[in-house]
Amino acid sequence: MSLPGEAVRRTPHAGRAQEDPGRPGRGQEEPGRLDRAQVDPGRLDRAQVDLRDAFRAAMARVCTPVCVATTLDRGRPHGTTVSAFTSLSMSPPMVLMALDRGSDLLALIRRTGRLGLNILAGGQSDLALCFARKGADKFADAEWSAESGAARLAGAAAWVGCAVSDLIDGGDHVIVLGTVLRAEAADAAPLTYHARTFGTHCPNADCLNAACACSRGV
């Protein structure tokens, strides 16, 4: 499961790089530069942990949609809850999604080449929790049907079926790019995740009042 509160390729220079006369040569110490042995590794680790915690807290303030990503392997459905996904392109229609490198679903998607995104409705937090767990058959109590090579869950706010077009490394995750084969939306409010809590979207009263005032020419 990937919920918030959660590569650059380097091109080698052709030929041998020329030495910068302004830089110290081998055996010379660069002024103001600390040797690795002089740096307290514990202090570096603490700084990394602090940054990771601060980043997690910052991402927890981002309100995200929640979906169950699925695929079919030999006719059997597999899925997991994710929130790290978004639209990528309109021409052609594409989406992107991030999965942990150790994700079981990622291994299956590599093989099947198909991906389904069930964008959950506001009343489906139980499904989000069910598919966030590992182990047991997550589809045992779920109503689903096969579509676009993936499992489509009943009652979702929207459905996007995709063919996997690329997999790109991104830190401890892999970014899955999907070319959209089919998309449908239902008249249902979406499930959202914010500050480690499920909810749904509600219109801002101030924005509604401003829109009404504009429509009346006030």
Buried b (16+ CB within 10 A) or exposed e, 133-155: eeeeebbeebebeebbbbbbbee
Phi and psi at residue 198, in whole multiples of 5°?
A: -80, 150
User: How many angstroms from the chain centroid is the CA of residue 40?
Assistant: 34
Q: Which amino acid is at 94?
A: M
Taking a C-beta distance cutoff of 8 angstroms, is the pair 87, 99 a contact? no
Per-residue CA distances from 29 to 17, 18, 35, 36, 39 (Å): 20, 19, 9, 12, 16
Q: Which residues fall within 8 angstroms of residue 26, CB to CB, at 6 or more apart? A: none
Instruction: Enter the CATH code of domain 64-200.
Output: 2.30.110.10
Q: Please report the pLDDT score of residue 124 as a whole number.
A: 95
The first and second tokens of residue 150, run together, are 């993936």
- Residue ranges of domains in the chain: 64-200
pLDDT tens digits, 118-168: 999 999 999 999 999 887 689 998 999 999 999 999 999 999 999 999 999
pLDDT tens digits, 19-46: 444 444 444 444 444 444 455 656 668 8
Q: Residue 13: how many CB atoms within 10 A of its CB? A: 8
